[in-house]
């Protein structure tokens, strides 16, 4: 007599502590080993691209906040930059600096959230709270300048909405100093931990070829030795004025992605520090026509604009027909593209690795589902 | 008359245990809270003293839910099977020189034998829930507990060889007679015991059977209300039992300077061990199944065996 | 540099297809739409100027193909050719125009550090564009999304089904003629 065994289909999600939102992984498991993985998404689809077609250009900015709500500044930026490209506008100097400072602060906040939640996924409780404590200081700064903690709606076509309040730049300098001290503590607490390393080293290995083939970007790509950081390779805004490194690792596993992100926080701090010392004390913060939102009518044309978000390459393809509303806005969301690799990456992993791998991709569901 | 004493002792132990567990949970939450830069529960009563009471009240008043496709009898039986042994082992613990339940000759054997029944409750709960996460949690739990029971028992054997008795009171008296706690001659055994105990109790970093981020809640995913409370209770009571065993075997039981009564020393030592577990929980990430198994079989068991060999040689050499 | 890339791509595509699909006859260069937007009414003539099939779009090369010219073999050529090496598919966009539909592939070469827009035109009645998924895996989800939201078929895609919307959703919301049933969605 032979024992009949059957493959088990395990639905991880849509409601599951580790899917960071409403995301479903249909896992075929034999024991605890995954034989097939199928990501199911769309539970959070709000039709952002459709909505864009019904709004004038400026009205769509708050919707970009809600894509990757952990890194909304870059979303704001890339959309505005996309429209500005069609308009051919020059952005005032001070506005560019404010954009860079807020984007980099937001990147720090986003990586901190990732750091905390990733360790929570792996089973360490405390780092989550340490990370959120530090993130809160960063969000305070962003709150002071934009009036919101997460959905900033700060940038405008042609510049930014608000100037920095008095003393804000000094406060930012203080904040990044604090963060860089915390990073040291994080390293002591987690990076060298034996159990943490055994959970992440060699887990979810991605080769350089896979990364390029699947169109992966951001820290995931850089952890596999693909040295592409749009801030360096295709300097947008005023990133060419700052001196910073692009952290790259060769191993391509979850631990490499961890290291790259931690190093990226340090680089962002460097950029913020430089921007804070270079920023002109006075000046316009928005293009002279930018404030008159009904007048934003890009000439007919289309362009793809991309920027480096904390999750990877965020892009926007804007098609204009010369009217006040965009004809088509396509959003290239890094998480959406990155999440596709799960089909390949999870096969052969164990259920415990699923959490470690999925977490290491740093996926935000608001962005996956648009 | 004896029967009355037995019943009275059991009831008092249960009452004390329930109280102890209530405050153990508060203690855990407070300790972890402070380690995580937050105050922990502080709304119910002064210093959050009534938080767990409120939690238990809530659990008891909840609707009793049994999933439709669950194996009903097994489902109901599982929490009881999990809880009863963890409580029963307290009969053999000797709290102080004169406060004890049963003075068993085979105290240690009884303790280890009875405590392994708890695993059965875990397996039954996970299996009968008819839930994939529960099943995975239960399988992990059983595999882990069985694997780690071996080093646990082997590590204790060193103490038995030295003392020459399985009786808990004899073990403490022996420590009194040689003038030192057995943690010193049996340090290796103590380390192996503590690590295995964490796995045995499913506590972090070896809390795989109920790994929240992977298996939602592991084997008790489908349990709610007072059945869940039973699992929870079993877990904490068992934690106290293992801490009590460690206190007796390695830390000299109730022995301590005379300005405090023996039972207080006993509880203090237990609390230190329990605190150590909370501390680990606040610090460490969760280990992976394969590493956990490898560590148990390839590191802890050989170490425990080595300890037995060394202890035997010393015993023979000392006559 | 972009002009060189454009010339190179044009040449390669021509030699691959064996016909001059990207040739542009009209001598008059298209005027750059760079006028001030405050007075657009002044320019009444707005005659639709013929599109250049190979041009620079905001400094980046763009080629426009018809769907019958676009194939997986052509995509492979773009990826594997020694001088082109467009190995990174950055973005796939679908656009619905009154007369036709378009799929735009934004390619990037991680080796050569150059860009290319490939615009593929297809009909509105039976929109179909050869899938890039077998060539760049990145196309997998992005093409599924376009299929889902715009209803453009991608023959050759290994798993062409809806991705964001429910499997039983009717219609493709990003088409311009899609009627949003506010009642059914509970918005009205």
pLDDT digits (tens, 9 = 90+) for A298-352: 888 888 888 998 888 899 999 988 888 889 899 898 988 888 888 888 888 888 8
Name the interface residues of A facing C (CB cutoff 8 Å).
Answer: 41-42, 45, 47, 49-50, 85, 87-88, 212-216, 226, 228, 233, 295-304, 306, 313, 315, 317, 319, 322, 327-328, 330, 332, 336-337, 339-340, 369-370
CA dist B169 and B164 (Å) reads: 12
Per mean pLDDT, which of A6-20, A93-107, B126-140 is the most reliable?
Answer: A93-107
pLDDT at A294: 74
Report CA-CA distances (Å) from A84 to A9, A81, A253, B239, C15.
48, 5, 38, 63, 37
Burial level of B281, CB count in 10 A (0-12/13-18/19+)?
A: buried
Q: Does B35 touch chain A (CB under 8 A)?
A: yes
Q: Which residues pair with A318 in a beta bridge?
A: A303, A329
- Reported residue count of chain C is 188
**3-class DSSP state for residue A330?**
strand
C45 has pLDDT over 70: no
C43 has pLDDT over 70: no
CA A318 vs. chain centroid, Å, equals 20
CA dist A43 and A14 (Å) reads: 8
- Let me know whether B49 and B77 are in one domain: no
C32 has pLDDT over 70: no
C41 has pLDDT over 60: no
pLDDT at A192: 82
DSSP-derived secondary structure letter, A189: I
If we measure between CA atoms, which residue out of A19, A58, A88, A44 comes closest to residue A333?
Answer: A44
- Let me know whether B40 and B159 are in one domain: no
Q: Where are the alpha helices (DSSP H) in chain A?
A: 48-53, 61-65, 72-87, 93-122, 126-146, 168-186, 194-200, 208-213, 219-223, 230-233, 254-278, 334-339, 342-345, 351-361, 365-369
DSSP-assigned states of every residue in A125-176: -HHHHHHHHHHHHHHHHHHHHHS-SS----EETTEESSPPPTTHHHHHHHHH
For residue C31, name the pLDDT band (cuts at 50, 70, 90). low
CA dist A110 and A113 (Å) reads: 5
pLDDT in tens, A218-241: 899 999 988 888 888 888 888 888
Q: Do A60 and A47 meet the contact criterion of CB atoms below 8 Å apart?
A: no
Please give the share of chain A, as a percent, with pLDDT higher than 90: 11
**3-class DSSP state for residue B193?**
helix
Which residues have a Cβ under 8 Å from the Cβ of A256 and sit 6 or more positions away? A223, A224, A249, A250
Query: Inter-chain contact B288–A119, Cβ cutoff 8 Å?
Result: no
Between strands C54-57 and A301-308, the pairing is: unpaired
Average pLDDT for residues C47-66, to the nearest whole number?
77
For residue C35, name the pLDDT band (cuts at 50, 70, 90). low
Subunits with 3+ C-beta pairs closer than 8 A to B: A
Q: Do A361 and A206 meet the contact criterion of CB atoms below 8 Å apart?
A: no
In chain A, residues with a C-beta closer than 8 Å to the C-beta of C149 are: 49-50
DSSP-derived secondary structure letter, A215: T
In chain A, residues with a C-beta closer than 8 Å to the C-beta of B40 are: none
pLDDT at A51: 86
- ipTM for the complex shown: 0.85
Query: Inter-chain contact C163–A306, Cβ cutoff 8 Å?
Result: no
- Let me know whether B302 and B246 are in one domain: yes
Phi–psi pair at B16, nearest 5 degrees: -65, -40
CA dist A325 and A58 (Å) reads: 9
If we measure between CA atoms, which residue out of A354, B125, A334 comes closest to residue C91?
Answer: A334
Chain A and chain B share a number of CB contacts under 8 A equal to: 80
Q: Which residues pair with A34 in a beta bridge?
A: A29
pLDDT in tens, C148-187: 888 888 888 888 888 888 888 888 888 888 887 777 777 7
Best of C56, C58, C75, C157 to substitute, by most chain A Cβ atoms within 10 angstroms, is: C58
Query: Inter-chain contact A304–C90, Cβ cutoff 8 Å?
Result: yes
Query: Inter-chain contact A315–C91, Cβ cutoff 8 Å?
Result: yes
Residue B88 lies in a domain: yes
- Let me know whether B117 and B187 are in one domain: yes
Q: Do A329 and A318 meet the contact criterion of CB atoms below 8 Å apart?
A: yes
Residue B196 lies in a domain: yes
Query: Inter-chain contact C58–A315, Cβ cutoff 8 Å?
Result: no
Q: Do A332 and A313 meet the contact criterion of CB atoms below 8 Å apart?
A: yes
Residue B241 lies in a domain: yes
- Let me know whether B84 and B55 are in one domain: no
Nearest chain C Cα distance for residue A208, angstroms: 11
C50 has pLDDT over 70: no
C104 has pLDDT over 70: yes
Tally the domains of chain B. 2
pLDDT at C48: 55
Query: Inter-chain contact B290–A354, Cβ cutoff 8 Å?
Result: no
Residue B243 lies in a domain: yes
Residue B66 lies in a domain: no
Instruction: Please state the three-class secondary structure of chain C as a single string.
Output: CHHHHHHHHHHHHHHHHCCCCCCCCCCCCCCCCCCCCCCCCCCCCCCCCCCCCEEEECCEEEEEEECCCCCHHHHHHHHHCCCCCCCEEEEEEEEECCCEEEEEEEEECCCCCCEEEEEEEEECCCCECCCCCCCCCCHHHHHHHHHHHHCCECCCCCCCCCCCCCCCCCCCCCCCCCCCCHHHHCCC
Higher pLDDT, A180 or C183: A180
Q: Does B287 touch chain A (CB under 8 A)?
A: yes
pLDDT at A139: 92
Q: Do A331 and A48 meet the contact criterion of CB atoms below 8 Å apart?
A: yes
Name the interface residues of C facing A (CB cutoff 8 Å).
Answer: 33-35, 37-38, 40, 57-58, 60, 87-91, 93-96, 104, 106, 110, 113, 117, 136-142, 145, 149, 162-166, 173-174, 180
Q: Where are the alpha helices (DSSP H) in chain B?
A: 2-35, 51-61, 72-88, 107-115, 117-128, 132-163, 168-178, 187-200, 212-215, 225-250, 262-283, 289-295, 301-318
Q: Does B132 touch chain A (CB under 8 A)?
A: yes
A71 CB-side CA count, 13 A: 30
Region of residue B91 (left: phi > 0; alpha: psi -120 to 50; beta: else): alpha
If we measure between CA atoms, which residue out of C177, C181, C173, C168 comes closest to residue C146?
Answer: C173
Best of C59, C112, C137 to substitute, by most chain A Cβ atoms within 10 angstroms, is: C137
If we measure between CA atoms, which residue out of A282, A304, A307, A251 comes closest to residue A71?
Answer: A307
**3-class DSSP state for residue A307?**
strand
- Quote the tokens at residue A177: 């100093």
Burial level of C27, CB count in 10 A (0-12/13-18/19+)?
A: exposed
Query: Inter-chain contact C141–A340, Cβ cutoff 8 Å?
Result: yes
Query: Inter-chain contact A299–C113, Cβ cutoff 8 Å?
Result: no
- Let me know whether B92 and B230 are in one domain: yes
Residue B192 lies in a domain: yes
Query: Inter-chain contact C164–A369, Cβ cutoff 8 Å?
Result: yes
Of B61, B82, B105, which residue sits at a domain end?
A: B61
Query: Inter-chain contact B214–A130, Cβ cutoff 8 Å?
Result: no
Mean pLDDT lowest for which of A80-84, A179-183, B180-184, B298-302?
Answer: B180-184
Question: How many other CB atoms sit within 10 Å of the CB of residue A20?
Answer: 22
- Let me know whether B163 and B299 are in one domain: yes
Which residues have a Cβ under 8 Å from the Cβ of B316 and sit 6 or more positions away? none
pLDDT at A39: 87
Give residues 121 to 140 of A whose Cβ lies within 8 Å of B: 121-126, 129-130, 133
Q: Which domain holds residue B30?
A: 1-61
- Let me know whether B49 and B100 are in one domain: no
For residue C20, name the pLDDT band (cuts at 50, 70, 90). confident
- Let me know whether B159 and B278 are in one domain: yes
- Let me know whether B130 and B34 are in one domain: no
Residue identified by tokens 């995975």 is B136
C-alpha triplet A170, A175, A181: angle, nearest 5° = 135
Dihedral sign of CA atoms A235, A236, A241, A242 in order: negative
- Sheet arrangement for strand A301-308: A301-308, A313-320, A328-332
**3-class DSSP state for residue B127?**
helix
**3-class DSSP state for residue A329?**
strand
Query: Inter-chain contact A353–B205, Cβ cutoff 8 Å?
Result: no
- Let me know whether B19 and B148 are in one domain: no
Mean pLDDT lowest for which of A97-106, A207-216, A272-281, C18-27?
Answer: C18-27
pLDDT in tens, A251-294: 888 899 999 999 999 999 999 999 888 888 888 888 888 777 77
- Let me know whether B164 and B45 are in one domain: no
Local confidence pLDDT in tens for the 319 residues of chain B: 788 888 888 888 888 888 888 888 888 888 888 888 888 888 888 888 888 888 888 888 888 888 888 888 888 888 888 888 888 888 788 887 777 777 778 888 888 888 888 888 888 888 888 888 888 888 888 888 888 888 988 888 888 888 888 888 888 888 888 878 888 788 888 999 988 888 888 777 887 777 666 677 777 777 878 888 888 888 888 888 888 888 888 888 888 777 878 788 888 888 899 888 888 888 888 888 888 888 888 998 999 899 889 888 888 887 6
Buried b (16+ CB within 10 A) or exposed e, A318-339: bbbebebbbbbbbbbbbbbbbb
CA dist A276 and A18 (Å) reads: 37
Phi–psi pair at B204, nearest 5 degrees: -55, 140
A130 has pLDDT over 80: yes
C46 has pLDDT over 60: no
Residue B55 lies in a domain: yes
């Amino acid at each position: 007599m032979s024992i009949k065994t059957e493959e088990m289909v395990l639905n991880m999600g849509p409601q599951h502590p580790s899917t960071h939102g409403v995301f479903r992984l249909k896992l075929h498991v034999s024991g605890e080993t995954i034989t097939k993985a199928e990501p199911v998404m769309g539970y959070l689809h709000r039709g952002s691209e459709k909505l864009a077609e019904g709004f004038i250009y400026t009205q769509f900015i708050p919707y970009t906040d809600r894509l990757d709500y952990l890194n909304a500044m870059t979303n704001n930026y890339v959309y505005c930059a996309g429209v500005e490209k069609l308009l051919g506008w020059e952005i005032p100097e001070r506005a560019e600096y404010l954009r860079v400072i807020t984007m980099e602060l937001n990147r720090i906040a986003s990586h901190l959230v990732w750091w905390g939640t990733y360790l929570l996924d792996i089973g360490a409780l405390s780092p989550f709270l340490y990370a959120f404590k530090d993130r809160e200081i960063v969000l305070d700064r962003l709150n002071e300048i934009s009036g919101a903690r997460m959905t900033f709606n700060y940038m405008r076509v042609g510049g930014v909405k608000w100037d920095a309040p008095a003393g804000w730049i000094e406060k930012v300098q203080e904040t990044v100093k604090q963060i860089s001290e915390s990073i040291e503590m994080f390293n002591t607490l987690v990076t060298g931990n034996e159990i943490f390393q055994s959970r992440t080293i060699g887990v979810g290995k991605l080769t350089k070829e896979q990364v390029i083939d699947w169109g992966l970007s951001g820290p995931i790509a850089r952890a596999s030795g693909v040295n592409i950081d749009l801030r360096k390779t295709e300097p947008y805004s005023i990133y060419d004025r700052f001196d910073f490194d692009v952290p790259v690792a060769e191993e391509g596993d979850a631990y490499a992605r961890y290291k790259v992100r931690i190093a990226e926080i340090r680089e962002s701090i460097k950029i913020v520090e430089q921007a804070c010392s270079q920023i002109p004390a006075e000046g316009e913060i928005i293009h002279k026509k930018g404030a008159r939102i009904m007048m934003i009518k890009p000439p007919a044309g289309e362009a793809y604009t991309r920027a480096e978000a904390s999750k990877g390459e965020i892009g926007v393809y804007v098609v204009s027909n010369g009217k006040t509303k965009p004809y088509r806005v396509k959003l290239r969301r890094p998480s959406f593209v990155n999440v596709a690799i799960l089909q390949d990456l999870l096969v052969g992993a164990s259920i415990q690795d699923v959490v470690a791998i999925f977490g290491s991709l740093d996926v935000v569901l608001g962005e996956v589902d648009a | 008359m004896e029967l009355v004493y037995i019943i009275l002792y059991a009831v008092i132990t249960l009452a004390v245990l329930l109280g102890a567990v209530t405050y153990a949970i508060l203690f855990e939450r407070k300790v972890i809270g402070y380690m995580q830069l937050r105050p922990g529960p502080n709304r119910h009563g002064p210093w959050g003293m009534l938080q767990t009471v409120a939690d238990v009240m809530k659990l008891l008043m909840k609707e009793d839910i049994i999933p439709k496709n669950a194996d009903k009898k097994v489902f109901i039986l599982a929490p009881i099977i999990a809880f009863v042994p963890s409580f029963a082992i307290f009969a053999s613990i000797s709290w102080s020189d004169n406060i004890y339940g049963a003075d068993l000759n085979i105290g240690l054997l009884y303790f280890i034998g009875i405590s392994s029944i708890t695993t059965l409750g875990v397996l039954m709960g996970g299996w009968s829930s008819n839930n994939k996460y529960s099943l995975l949690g239960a399988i992990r739990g059983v595999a882990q507990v069985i694997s780690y029971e071996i080093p646990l028992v082997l590590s204790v054997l060193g103490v038995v060889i030295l003392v020459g008795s399985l009786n808990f009171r004899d073990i403490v008296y022996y420590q009194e007679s040689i003038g030192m706690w057995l943690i010193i001659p049996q340090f290796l055994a103590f380390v192996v015991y503590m690590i295995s105990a964490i796995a045995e109790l499913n506590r972090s970093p070896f809390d795989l059977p109920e790994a929240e981020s992977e298996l939602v809640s592991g084997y008790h995913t489908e349990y709610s209300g007072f059945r869940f409370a039973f699992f929870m209770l079993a877990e904490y009571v068992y934690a106290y039992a293992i801490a009590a065993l460690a206190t007796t075997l390695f830390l000299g039981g109730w022995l301590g300077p005379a300005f405090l009564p023996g039972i207080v020393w006993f509880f203090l030592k237990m609390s230190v061990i329990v605190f150590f577990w909370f501390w680990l929980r606040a610090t460490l990430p969760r280990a992976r199944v394969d590493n956990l198994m490898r560590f148990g079989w390839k590191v802890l068991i050989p170490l425990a065996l080595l300890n037995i060999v060394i202890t035997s040689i010393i015993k023979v050499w000392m006559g | 540099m972009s002009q060189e890339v454009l010339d190179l791509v044009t040449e390669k595509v021509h030699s691959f297809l064996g016909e001059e699909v990207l040739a542009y006859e009209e001598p008059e260069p298209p005027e750059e739409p760079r006028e001030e937007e405050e007075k657009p009414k002044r320019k009444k003539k707005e005659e639709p100027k013929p599109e250049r099939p190979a041009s620079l779009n905001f400094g980046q090369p763009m080629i426009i193909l018809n769907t019958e010219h676009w194939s997986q073999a052509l995509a492979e050529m773009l990826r594997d050719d020694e001088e082109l090496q467009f190995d990174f598919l950055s973005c796939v966009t679908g656009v619905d125009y009154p007369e036709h539909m378009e799929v735009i592939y934004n390619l990037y070469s991680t080796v050569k550090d150059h860009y290319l827009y490939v615009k593929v035109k297809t009909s509105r009645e039976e929109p179909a564009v050869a899938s890039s998924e077998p060539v760049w895996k990145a196309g997998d989800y992005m093409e599924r999304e376009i299929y889902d939201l715009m209803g453009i078929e991608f023959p050759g895609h290994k798993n062409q089904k809806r991705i964001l919307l429910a499997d039983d959703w009717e219609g493709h919301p990003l088409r311009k003629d899609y009627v949003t049933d506010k009642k059914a969605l509970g918005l009205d």
